[in-house]
Every structure is written in C-alpha cells, then in structure tokens.
Amino acid sequence: MPVKSPIQFEVISMETMRNIDYQVMRSAFAIHNELGNGNNEIMYKRALGNELFQDDITVSLELPVELIFGDFRKTLYLDMVVDDRVVYELKAAKQLTSSHENQLMNYLILAQSNRGKVINFGSAVVESRFVKSVISSSDRKIFEFIFDERVDKKFCKLVEELVSDWGTGLAIGWYEEALVHCLGGFSNVMRDIPMQLKGQPIGSQRFPMAREKTAIQITALKTQNLRDQANLHHKILRAADLDSIYWVNIARGLVSIRLVTKEIDCLDKFQPSIKYG
C-alpha cells in the first residue's frame, strides 16, 4: 500500500505493548484525576504528551501519514505514537464505542502497525481498549473481483486498481475520496440530487456521480447483509432523481460492483460475466 510515514513500525508482542502501556496509563490516570472529564480532546492529548516527555519517553503527537493513489494524496494524523512503536487514539467522549476502535484499526492498517490502544478521558473514569491488527497488508490484497457487465468498464478498472493498490479493510470514506478525485474532483463529481416523497419535494441529498443520473455508493458488507443494503438502494432510487447506482462493495476476499436500477433486483439478476483475482 503506497503510504508515506515518518516511522516504520515494527511488529511487537503483547508483553512489549503492556510494558509501554503501563507508563502511558499511569500518566493518563494522573491527568484525569487533575483535569476531570470535562475538557476537549486536544487538552488531554497535550497534557499526556507533556507527562510522558518529562518521563523521558519518546512521544510523537499528530504524526502525519500520507495515503497515495496516483496523484491522489490524503494526509491523516495519528493522535499519539509512543516509543516509535505503539499508536494511541485519544478521545473525550461520554463513552467508548466500536467506531472508536474501528478508527484506530484503520490507522493501524494504514501505518502497518500491529498494536494500539484507544483511551477515553471523557467518561467518569478513564476508559481504554487494546486494538490489534491481525490482517497483513498482503492478505488484504487477496480478493476476487467481480462486476456487472453493464457497468462502465473504465469505472470498474479504476476500482480494481484502487483496491489492488490499497487492499481491502480501510475506511470506506478513503476509497470514495480517491475515486472522486480520479473521476474529476469534488466540484465535478459531487452533486446535490433532488429527493421527493409521494411526489412532494423534500430537499436534496449529495451523491458522488459516475455519470449523469448514476450515483456511486460504496459499502463494506458481508454477504448476509447485502439484501438489506440492496433494498435501501431501491428506496433511494424511488426517492431520488436518479436512474441507477453503481454499488461498490469492498469486503475482505471479494470486491463487487453491481448496477442497481429501479426495475431490477441487483442481487437476483446479478450474473457477472467476468471474474478474476
């Protein structure tokens, strides 16, 4: 995966992780005792960074990592890296959720680091969860690619090249940003599409567009969840001033592109004529 990072992360054991984390959590608890849980994320980040630095622990805040595809560039920032080995994501939320863990997982995959931790200062007591990346970069690039022959071949090729380059498993929004860039940029690709219910206008919704009257929707769903998503796409088409949707599903081991129209059930009628890995 084309990534530029100031640090080349090594694979570390859980024992090593716990040794580093002991020092981090000791400082985190002390800061929470002093500041409480009513401050913003930046304050906790700076305070924790200062505490660790004073203990002669190597700390990098807001470490930039650049994700690349062709001439597309996206810079993301790792909240904190300790000892050049462990990535920490810091939060000031009411409680930790799976979305916080998923965010850190994406950063671990991006940085090619195998261990990290989410710390939340926003709750009554400090919350934390270990996160481990168990999928290697090479494994994420092993997938079958199938597409509906009615979908524009250039679009299919672009998706195939992007996922081959980055692998599966990253945040859906990152794939969408790269596709929008490659298709002409935000101002040319993103459109506010009028929506209606029972013939009455109810506003507009923004979609990335593959072509006139054809939107793009990207998901990362397992097979058992595809039917519900297909039904949702049909509801969108009934309400939106659209003719069809290019539905890209980027799942581990299988990347598919289906054409969703108002008349045809894309799951029942999908008979891909081309398959390759």
Q: pLDDT tens, 66-81?
A: 999 999 999 999 999 9
Residue 255 CA to residue 248 CA, distance in Å, equals: 7
Q: Is the pLDDT of residue 266 over 90?
A: no
Angle between helices 14-35 and 41-54 (to 10 degrees): 120
Please give the Cα distance from 219 to 232 (Å, whole number): 12
**253: alpha, beta or left, given left = phi > 0 and alpha = psi -120 to 50?**
left
The confidence band for 269, taking pLDDT boundaries of 50, 70 and 90, is low
Instruction: Report the chain's terminal Cα–Cα distance, integer Å.
Output: 17
Please state which of the ranges 26-30, 113-117, 119-123, 259-263 shows the lowest mean pLDDT: 259-263
- Residue 253 is encoded by which pair of tokens? 């081991």
81, with CB counted inside 10 A (0-12, 13-18, 19+), is buried
Evaluate whether 191 touches 206 at the Cβ level (below 8 Å): yes
Asked whether the predicted pLDDT for residue 218 surpasses 80, the reply is yes
| Residue pLDDT, tens place only, 153-185 | 999 999 999 999 999 999 999 999 999 999 999
Q: What is the pLDDT of residue 276?
A: 47
- pLDDT given at position 270: 61
Reported as a single tens digit per residue, the pLDDT across 131-140 is 999 888 888 9
Contacts of residue 151, Cβ cutoff 8 Å, sequence gap at least 6: 246, 257, 258, 259
Structure tokens belonging to residue 106: 């994406």
pLDDT (tens digit, 9 = 90+) per residue, 86-96? Answer: 999 999 999 99
Mean pLDDT of the chain: 93
Query: Does position 3 have pLDDT exceeding 90, yes or no?
Result: no
Q: Give, in order, the Cα–Cα distances in Å from 151 to each of 130, 157, 194, 207, 274.
A: 41, 10, 24, 18, 12
CB burial of residue 153 (10 Å; 0-12, 13-18, 19+): exposed
Listed range (76-85, 104-113, 182-191, 266-275) with the worst mean pLDDT: 266-275
